[in-house]
Chains A and B, each alone.
Chain A
Amino acid sequence: MSDTTRHDRLIGELAATLRPVRRLPPPWKRAAGWVVLVVAIGVGLLALAGSDIVRHRLAANPDAWLAVLGSALTAPLAAYAAFQTSVPGRNPRWALLPVPAALLWVGASGFGCLRSWIAPPSRDAVEPRDCLVFIVCVSLPLAIALVLMLRRACPLRPGLTATLGGLASAAAAATLLNLFHPFDVAATDLAIHAVAIALVVLATRALGARALGSRTT
């Protein structure tokens, strides 16, 4: 069969099976949908933790809010970048969008850790294992929801898109963890947080890339 005939045959088959499709909403709208889900979970958890505790912690360590701000900004920016990279023809440099916020998050957390090391604060003991369980358990539904939303598009770089989705979910979970965790963290806490976030990002990349790749190949 000649190449032209082959293409004509395939084009005929595709045209014969054509159905009207609903255009995908723009990335900011899809990202906003996911952020609403995060906020809803946050409001539920805030009701559980009590707003007084958060206010008390803020008063004790106002500068530690930089780390919270960093993670809180990383989540929507990474989600927006994931939705951008899920659409063919969009610039892959969108993947760099959450980097400044992520650097702020990591830098401010490291600074908090250093200060705790120099002047250990008096605080309630938190089991590091609990932090890991919290970040993984809260990230999981967020990452699943995000991958399902991303599957509606056609990510040509499924690994990159899934990694950004994992970063968004882990950052959202780390932000919500602050409702239950002192701002000043010890080195072991920080290491556990980093392990939990790395676990979420790598698992989302591995499983999400497969789920997203099956949409495009």
Chain B
Amino acid sequence: MGGETVEARLAERMQAAQEGDAVAYRQLLRDCVPVIARTVRGLGLPPDRVEDVVQETLLTIHRARATYDPARPFLPWLRAIARRRAIDAARLTGRQGAREVHDPEAYEGYASDGDAASEAIERQDRARLVGEAVAALPAGQRQAVEHLALADRSLDEAAALTGRSKGALKVNLHRALKALRTRFGGEPGEDV
């Protein structure tokens, strides 16, 4: 299939996505993944960061979809976003590299204080209890905990995925943490 046909197909799907066609959007994003990965690899980003940048780029496409002009080609728009996200990731990697020391042997050789097997069982129990408590929360609070605390997403990402405002997510997270503290017998002001 020629480049022009791919370009036209992607542009058509994006146009449909702007009008709310979720099927076309899903297909478009799937088609975008290899293009983004190629663009990012071409910029020399470490292979272990490529897939993270693909995810970041997909999120940016979602937020920026209103800026695409169907009268213009789609691929330059997509590649510009992918390149920018790759540059951001490279800068972040550089900053982390300057601050942090990578020493897997020191980590492996560090002696644990307790019995590893009993700790693992306790961890599993705690995870199960927390999972049950989160599942019992109202839908809005549960979404806030799942996206912000468990999946460790940023407020912007969570807002894009849930369709809720950042303010509403913050309030729901605060209420959820308060409810969880109460459930686990702590004071409302203590950390869970």
Q: How far is the CA of A10 from the CA of B57 in the complex (A)?
A: 11
Given contacts A16-B22, A20-B20, A21-B18, contact A88 B156 (CB under 8 A): no
Q: Is there contact, CB below 8 Å, between A156 and B20?
A: no
Q: Is there contact, CB below 8 Å, between A6 and B51?
A: yes
Taking residues whose C-beta sits less than 8 angstroms from the other chain, chain A's interface range is 20 to 34
Q: Is there contact, CB below 8 Å, between B55 and A215?
A: no
What is the interface of chain A mostly: helix, strand, loop, or mixed? loop
B63 to chain A: closest residue by CB: A154
Interface string of A143-162 (1 = CB under 8 A from B): 00000000011101100000
Given contacts A17-B160, A23-B18, contact A11 B67 (CB under 8 A): no
Interface string of A1-30 (1 = CB under 8 A from B): 001001110111111111111111010000
Partner of B81 from the list A15, A20, A86, A156 (CB cut-off 8 Å) is A156
Kindly state whether residue A44 has any CB partner on chain B within 8 Å. no
- Sort A-B residue pairs by CB-CB distance and give the 9 closest, nearest first: A154-B64, A20-B20, A89-B77, A156-B84, A21-B66, A15-B26, A89-B80, A3-B51, A89-B76
User: B interface vs A, CB < 8 Å?
Assistant: 17-23, 25-26, 29-30, 33, 51, 54-55, 58-60, 62-70, 72, 76-81, 84, 88, 154, 156, 160-163
A sample of 27 cross-chain residue pairs with beta-carbon separation below 8 angstroms, ordered by A number, consists of A6-B51, A7-B30, A7-B33, A8-B30, A10-B59, A11-B33, A13-B161, A14-B58, A14-B62, A14-B160, A15-B23, A15-B26, A15-B29, A17-B161, A17-B162, A18-B25, A20-B20, A23-B18, A23-B66, A86-B67, A87-B67, A88-B64, A88-B80, A154-B60, A154-B63, A156-B81, A215-B63
